[in-house]
Amino acid sequence: MNFIAMDFETANHQRHSACSLALVMVRDSKIVGEYYSLIQPETSFFWRNIQIHGIKPQDVKTAPKFPEVWESIAQYFNPYSLIIAHNAPFDNGVLAGCLDYYNLEQPHYLTLDTVRTSRKFYQNLPNHRLNTVCGYLDIPLLNHHDALEDSRACAEILLAQEKEFGRTPLKKFVRSI
């Protein structure tokens, strides 16, 4: 399988408040690359978000703003790219919110949500949060809510599902944006 796992962390509840982003690139069912950046959001931080991911305003003071980050990653978002996330509606929404905020063109790409695949394949779990699914699959998740760590875990979840169930059942979860 070829795909990119994506994870955002946000400064507050606003969809354009991305403060970190990670991408994990998978080719032929192997992790082959990673991208991580802090992002300077043009909005304030909410204490609860800081409590969750640990990123503070001073951590992003010299970080690039989203348009600069987008220049580095836009190439990965095209109609043939499969971009996955654990709770993809959130991460796709943050991407769309950032692009809207900066009046940047929305890309078209394929997406898959590993929360949805996990609900289908692991119905016996008490919930389908990233840490729960990782625990069930024995996937390391040492620093939950670190965007790079979460992206790696998401990639490993889909790779485990591909190995256990094959590609065909996963295809019905792919959506176009």
- Condensed to tens digits (0 to 9), the pLDDT of residues 33-42 reads 999 999 999 9
Mean pLDDT value across the chain? 97
Please give the average per-residue pLDDT across 63-85, as a whole number. Answer: 98
Q: What is the pLDDT of residue 20?
A: 98
- Residue 13, CA distances (Å) to 50, 55, 145 in order: 12, 15, 15
Q: What is the pLDDT of residue 43?
A: 97
**Residue 131 lies in domain:** 3-176
Q: What is the pLDDT of residue 129?
A: 98
Percent of the residues in the chain that have a pLDDT greater than 70, as a whole number? 100
Q: What is the pTM of this model?
A: 0.96
CATH of the domain at 143: 3.30.420.10
pLDDT tens per residue, range 156-172:
999 999 999 999 999 99
Q: How far apart are CA 42 and CA 47, in angstroms?
A: 16
**Domains: count for the chain:** 1
Q: How confident is the model at residue 64 (pLDDT cuts 50, 70, 90)?
A: very high
Q: How confident is the model at residue 131 (pLDDT cuts 50, 70, 90)?
A: very high
Q: What is the pLDDT of residue 24?
A: 98
Q: What is the pLDDT of residue 133?
A: 98
